[in-house]
Amino acid sequence: MPNSKQLFKKILIWRYKHISERQFVYVLSVLVGFLAGLGTLILKNLTFFFHDILEGKFIKDIHYLLYFIFPIIGLFLVYYIKKKIIKKEIGHGISTTLHAISKRSGIIEQYKIYASLLTAPITVGFGGSAGLQGPAVSTGAALGSGVAQLFHMNTKTRMLLIGCATAGAMSSMFKAPVAAIIFAVEIFSLDLAFASLVPLLLASVSAVVTSYFFLGKDVLLGFKLQDEFQINDLIFYVLLAIGTGIASVYFSKIYFTITNFFKRIKSDFHRLIFGGLAIGIMLFFLPSLYGEGYGLINNLLEGNTQEALKDAGYSLDFNNVWTVISFLLLITIFKAIAMTTTFAAGGVGGIFIPTLVMGSALGNVFAKIINQFGGNVSESNFTLIGMTGLMAGVLHAPLTAIFLIAEITGGYELFVPLMLVAAISYAFTKYFVSNSIYTVELAEKGELITHDKDKNVLMMLQIHKLIEKNFKPIHPDMTLGEMLKGAVAKSSRNIFPVLDKEKHFLGIVLLDDIRPLMFEQEMYDKLTIQVLMKSAPAIIFHNDSTEQVMQKFKESGAWNLPVVKDKKYVGFISKSKLLSAYRTKLIEVTV
């Protein structure tokens, strides 16, 4: 009786004989879409489970007071799970997936399949002001990478299946299969050719069918467009676009500022306490910041402002429109703060849905102010368009913003203002914030995947694998004779690194430079290496990107460049080895 490994090997052999590579990729894309959809459903249902428990009747009478304590309890549980069960860094879902694509050839650690499933529902279900889209992508991407590794797929297919998983997670979350494909292409810079489009379509459809099968027709955002686009409102949409652009810049800047502030707190436990108390205080005064915020969005879209703000535990006259405007502006301002604090304190979640909450509140405020001064605009339409503007600006994903809002609401009649606001908001934000929250760290390291194939291939190269170490180091106080006897005679290389006693790199000596002196024995004891060496541009290990390395080769005209780490010599990289590795990687990711 064959064991499982032998049986799986026979399946692989049968597949190679009877199913073409392209057909098998189609099969895997359906499987990955199903798994990503299932993972997303588990995330959502676990979150709803915790939310229902905490909203239960047995604590309803004191529920308002417990807003303060719920997030702290959730963060403590997540802290414990991280330390005792997972014991590894989880990271932000989309950012870590982008890093895996650019620097790990699509290899994602398999613990990330369950890491977000365990922690994100607790974070959000207990009131953490974050979303589930990032964790859903993280889970799906890990599943896609795992499936690709299981069936021994090449790097290009592995990355494609990660894109399929991303589309599947998005499709299952919002039941928006078209927007899901655009999201995968826009965020992960996938090549939208026929070879990749069909798997993305299959994965997206597979995931959305899975969602319909388990959840029926229930959707997170169930609003259907009621008011038509009016050409007279165009100037107001331009003003809204500028407003969402400003809000997007604010969102990004506040995220970077709070994140950097919490990094100064060295202890994870201290970050948890400080962040948990901060979130609790914000929720005490602004209960609408609790959890993801779908209730707020749906009520604003339906025009149920009092229902949207009913959780406020203190007496406010929500029949007064200026009170409502003030409260919604506070939600707009503090949603980004609460979300970032949730992450910084150790919570696990995503930024996608908080942008929708912030955008819906801002758009609704715009409409109410316009109507108070004699205008007559649709509050629901402005709420939708506000969501589009924030998404386009914060995520740097204007196409995703347009198609997601249009698809989930049936608002295709709003395409003109959707496109206008998305374009202006994105351009405005891009001018002040060159990279999104997802990509800023990767961009700073030169590790960000783009639609530039040459740059992508260069970025995927791993510098440490190109370093050669069979060079004979010499010291600055050595004489020419000592160098010839101790280094030149024992080396097959024509370049010699000059190091001090602490192995700090000082310069190089080229064999070509000393060749005329090799037969002048009277110079052997007179010339020292300190006189003969010359400086050379060095590659800074872990700092210089592959693109920067290529630029240094170009500017110096050298064939070999030294690599240093903390000013200490590591080895050399040759231009020939770098170009050879580039050609190999290019074939690997394009064939």
Question: Is pLDDT at 524 greater than 90 in this prediction?
Answer: no
Task: Provide the pLDDT confidence category of residue 406 given band limits of 50, 70 and 90.
Answer: confident
φ and ψ at 106, to 5 degrees?
Answer: 80, 10
Q: What is the pLDDT of residue 202?
A: 92
pLDDT at 190: 62
Mean pLDDT of all residues in 516-535:
79
- What per-residue confidence (pLDDT) applies to 419? 92
3-state class (DSSP) for residue 477: coil
394 pLDDT exceeds 70? yes
CB within 8 A of 444, min separation 6: which ones?
435
pLDDT band with cut points at 50, 70 and 90 for residue 446: low
Q: Please, what is the angle between helix 155-174 and helix 93-103, to 10°?
A: 170
Q: What is the pLDDT of residues 126-178, one digit of tens each?
A: 888 888 888 888 888 889 888 888 887 887 788 888 889 999 999 988 888 88
Give the span between the Cα atoms of 356 and 377, in whole angstroms.
20
- The three-state secondary structure class of 578 is helix
- For residues 473 and 546, which has the higher predicted lDDT (pLDDT)? 473
Q: What mean pLDDT comes out for the span 387-401?
A: 91
First to last CA, the chain: 39
Of 10 and 136, the structure prediction assigns the larger pLDDT to 136
Q: Which residue has the tokens 């890990």?
A: 142
Most confident of 3-7, 145-149, 219-223, 530-534: 145-149
The whole-number pLDDT of residue 504 equals: 86
CA distance 409 to 176: 10
Predicted confidence (pLDDT) per residue in 127-136, tens digit: 888 888 888 8
Q: What's this model's pTM, rounded to 2 decimal places?
A: 0.78
C-alpha 346/C-alpha 91 separation (Å) is 10
* The pLDDT value given to residue 38: 92
pLDDT of 313 above 70: no
Q: Is 591 exposed, middle or buried (0-12, 13-18, 19+ CB in 10 A)?
A: exposed
Contact call for residues 151 and 28 (beta carbons, < 8 A): yes
Higher pLDDT, 454 or 14: 14
**How many residues in the chain?**
591
What is the arithmetic mean of pLDDT over 217-244? Answer: 80
Domains detected in the chain? 4-215 (1.10.3080.10), 231-451 (1.10.3080.10), 455-590 (3.10.580.10)
Q: Is 495 helix (H, G, I), strand (E, B) or coil?
A: strand
Token pair 């994140």 is at which residue? 259
Distance between CA atoms of residues 97 and 505, nearest Å: 36
pLDDT in tens, 527-575: 888 888 888 778 777 677 777 778 888 888 788 888 888 888 888 888 8
Of 235-239, 254-258, 429-433, 491-495, where does mean pLDDT reach its minimum?
A: 491-495
Average pLDDT, the chain: 82
Rounded mean pLDDT, 40-68? 73
Q: pLDDT at residue 498 above 80?
A: yes
> pLDDT above 90 covers what percent of the chain?
19
CA distances from 353 to 220, 339, 499 (A): 11, 10, 54
pLDDT, residue 1, reads 46
Is residue 380 scored above 90 in pLDDT?
no
Residue 508's pLDDT band (cuts 50, 70, 90): confident
**Sign of CA pseudo-dihedral 134, 395, 190, 551:** negative
